[in-house]
A and B are shown apart, each in its own frame.
Chain A
Amino acid sequence: MDISALVAQNYAAGKAATLPDANSGGAAFASAAEDFLATLQASENTAMQAMTSGADPHALVEALAQTELAVQTAVTVRDRVVEAYQEILRMPV
């Protein structure tokens, strides 16, 4: 068997695996990002109210803690994704 035929076959099989899947995690990621944005906005609004109209300090602390949780999760996931991407780029071809 010719080696180039084998390579071409492997390449075709490998290419199919890297094609973007239409209904993969894209929608889930978008909803997670929206959730994150909503948490951030709620916390900003509560902080603003606490400063201007004297909202309940408990609500402020709760909103800030929720934001901290969300930001921590987002940053950690982002770091992992970037790291994985760089790992792929460093792969010897």
Chain B
Amino acid sequence: MTDFSDAISVATSGMKAQANRLRHVSENIANTDTPGYQRKTITFAQMVQSGEASGAVASGPMRLDQSEFTRIYDPAHPLADETGHYDGSNVNLLIEIADAREAQRSYEANLKMFDQVRQMSSALMDLLRR
């Protein structure tokens, strides 16, 4: 029975991590037009419990994308320099959408595993019932 409950916790950790990733993606998308906004990325790492890897995943610390800002031409903007340009964000919407889709697929995979474990355990118990 412990394997079933362990599998459920691992699947839940995956869902949590993907939800966290999706949150950062939505922050990036929301701030696409914010001047000077640096794209946020997160990493995934194996969760360590009492010295050994538990198999669950955790989202690591958030990091800022250090790539160049896009230069936007708008002389009327208060942040515009003498050439009429200002620093936009370094968010690429296409990458964010792809990332969001990937998060969704991974989330679905974890959800499927969760459901699978539940079905397997109740099938096992159905064996005892008649």
Contact = CB atoms under 8 A, between A and B. Distances in A.
B5 interface: yes
Contact of B15 (A58, A68, A79): A58
Contacts of B15: 58
Interface in A26-69: 56, 58-59, 61-62, 65-66, 68-69
Contacts, number: 35
- Chain B CB count within 10 A is highest, among A56, A59, A68, A73, for A73
Q: What is the predominant secondary structure among interface residues of chain B facing chain A? A: helix
A9 interface: no
Nearest to B2: A35
Contacts of A56: 16
A23 B102 CA distance: 54
4 shortest interchain CB distances as A-B pairs: A62-B12, A76-B128, A76-B125, A58-B16
14 contacts: A58-B12, A58-B16, A61-B12, A62-B12, A65-B114, A65-B118, A66-B8, A69-B1, A69-B4, A69-B8, A69-B118, A72-B125, A76-B129, A77-B128
